[in-house]
Amino acid sequence: MKRIDKFNSIWKENWLTGIRLIPKLAKWGQSEKGIVLDLGCGESPFRYLFPLAKYYIRIDRNAVDEKVVIADITRIPLNDESVDAVLLFQVLGDIPEPKSFLKEVSRILKPEGRMIIFESMCYPEHDMPHDYYRLMPSGIDYLSMKVGFQCTEITRLGGLFTRFAMLWNKFIMGKIKNFPVICWLAHIGIFLANIICYSLDQVFLHPNLAENYIARFVKRT
Amino acid sequence: MQLLSNIKSYFENIYLRKLDYASGREFTEDYLKRANPGTTFLDAGCGQGNIRDLLPEDVRYIGIDFFEGDNCEGYQGWQHRPDIVADLHCLPLRDSSCDTLVLLHVLEHLHSPQKAISELARVMKPGARLYIAVPFLHQLHHQPNDYYRFARYSLEHLFKSVGLTTVSIRPTGGYFRSLAHILGRFIPLYKSKKWFIQLLLFPLVMWILFLRWTISSFEYPLDLLDNKQELTCGYLCIASKTIANNVNA
């Protein structure tokens, strides 16, 4: 199963994130016509949202397929001012020194180049020992400003119940999925949680408890 | 009757253990115990400095905060004022001058945590201890000065980078406590709605409150199931400055 299905299907655990994230990202993706660099790409689940990109370069620590460039993302093997847009999808939290990493990103970006960030605010610890921070919107704003970026937009996605659904889907339903006979129960549980939590978040939106945020920065000239 | 009293003691036990582990009572007792007469106790980011009242008379208490009380919304009506109004990134204290340092729910509000910790390490005496409490799952608060949430490794990394030794890093609660914590945030949200929406959603709210109440009453035994504790409400950590570090410096 592809990773993007988890964001697109209502029976899957990341649907609540996807429904808010994908329209936003698709709008931003339409305007990226140059060289797009996906840092810490993994399977690059959102690649199809950047259809007009001239080149789509993927760099990660370890490769999932043959098109990934294996490199240390804190020392990017690219020339100065060579890239039009950098995508950082759930990467910043896994880096011990986010500020020097953002400086490196700023080095390879052309002037007026865009940096698109999608980051979780409360994701459980994962990939130990490569998990360091959860950067809050003001944190990323501060750090980017320090290394020469200008914030154009930060949008928080979801609210209290999205957070609840994430916990519910990942832990309880994730445990049930491991048992062969009752694994179908997990799909129903996820489906119900998705629908109920989505509608509750429409009524009771709690922006301070947002689960994720998406941000776009422009490199100052 | 025997059975009844057994059940009663079981619940009492759960309740006490729960309190202990949720509020970090051990943690508090630990730093209060270290504050012997004649020592210096630094409360960085003290707010109204409630710890002052818990300490013995002859402990030298220093409370530092960036806010004085009146100059920031939500800080009015403080009983005490901070002793020093200063930025924690640049402490106005001499090197090796404090014995016990606490930084409770402050580190996430500092834009450069590494710099702040290195400043605290500077003012620590050799053998002094630094007590830090940070949230992990907590909502955004005191905006826009809310910058980070720290995972286990970032705290270790921070201590190592400034030359402190990590004594312990303990998560406060696991999955179920986090769940109860999130659901608890719902109540003020519900109260802020108009009365007819409140009435309309009352049955649903009862269910959510029931769920929250059930989880939070049993969060201690339930969290024993979650042995990894990858999702937690926060961390309580202790770091110390060893004498060897000081010699090297």
Give the C-alpha separation, B150 to B156, whole Å.
10
Q: Do B166 and B192 share a domain, yes or no?
A: no
Instruction: Assess if CATH 3.40.50.150 describes domain A5-159+206-219.
Output: yes
**What's the pLDDT tens digit per position in B141-187?**
887 889 999 999 999 999 999 999 999 998 888 888 888 888 888 88
Instruction: Please give the full DSSP string across B191-207, using - where no structure is assigned.
Output: HTS-HHHHHHTHHHHHH
The parts of chain A modelled with pLDDT lower than 70 are: 1
Judged by CB atoms closer than 8 Å, whether chains meet at B182 and A209 is answered as yes
pLDDT for B6 equals 74
Q: What pTM was computed for the model?
A: 0.87
Q: Do B11 and B71 share a domain, yes or no?
A: yes
Q: Do B104 and B218 share a domain, yes or no?
A: no
Cα-based distances in Å from A101 to A75, A94, B106 = 8, 11, 25
Residue B65 phi, psi (nearest 5): -150, 155
Q: Do B117 and B207 share a domain, yes or no?
A: no
Q: Which of residues 61-90 of A touch B (CB under 8 A)?
A: none
Give the C-alpha separation, B57 to B53, whole Å.
9
Nearest chain B residue (CA) to A99: B112
pLDDT for A144 equals 94
Domain harbouring B123, CATH code: 3.40.50.150
Give the C-alpha separation, A183 to A186, whole Å.
5
- Which tokens is A67 given? 């098109």
Judged by CB atoms closer than 8 Å, whether chains meet at A134 and B146 is answered as no
Domain encompassing residue B77 = 2-172+232-248
Which amino acid, residue B139? Q
Nearest chain A residue (CA) to B184: A160
How many domains are there within chain B? 2
Nearest chain B residue (CA) to A95: B154
Q: Do B44 and B59 share a domain, yes or no?
A: yes
Compute the nearest-CA separation of A160 from chain B (Å).
7
**What's the pLDDT tens digit per position in B62-94?**
999 887 655 565 566 677 788 898 999 999 999
Judged by CB atoms closer than 8 Å, whether chains meet at B182 and A135 is answered as no
B197 and chain A in contact, CB less than 8 A? yes
Nearest chain B residue (CA) to A137: B147
Q: Do B28 and B75 share a domain, yes or no?
A: yes
Q: Do B61 and B103 share a domain, yes or no?
A: yes
Give the C-alpha separation, B45 to B85, whole Å.
9
Q: Do B148 and B203 share a domain, yes or no?
A: no
Q: Which neighbouring-strand residues pair with B235?
A: B134, B171
Compute the nearest-CA separation of A168 from chain B (Å).
9
pLDDT for B69 equals 57
Judged by CB atoms closer than 8 Å, whether chains meet at A167 and B178 is answered as yes
**What's the pLDDT tens digit per position in B89-137?**
999 999 999 999 999 889 999 999 999 999 999 999 999 999 999 999 8
**What's the pLDDT tens digit per position in B204-237?**
888 888 888 888 888 878 888 887 788 888 899 9
Q: Do B205 and B91 share a domain, yes or no?
A: no
Q: Do B138 and B195 share a domain, yes or no?
A: no
Q: Do B123 and B58 share a domain, yes or no?
A: yes
Instruction: Please give the full DSSP string across B110-160, using - where no structure is assigned.
Output: -S-HHHHHHHHHHHEEEEEEEEEEEESSPPP-STTS--EEE-HHHHHHHHH
Straight-line distance from the first to the last Cα atom of chain A, in angstroms, rounded to the nearest whole number: 42
Give the C-alpha separation, B98 to B42, whole Å.
6
Q: Do B91 and B180 share a domain, yes or no?
A: no
Judged by CB atoms closer than 8 Å, whether chains meet at A209 and B140 is answered as yes
Which amino acid, residue A213? Y
pLDDT for A183 equals 85
Q: Which residues of A touch B150 (CB under 8 A)?
A: 132-134
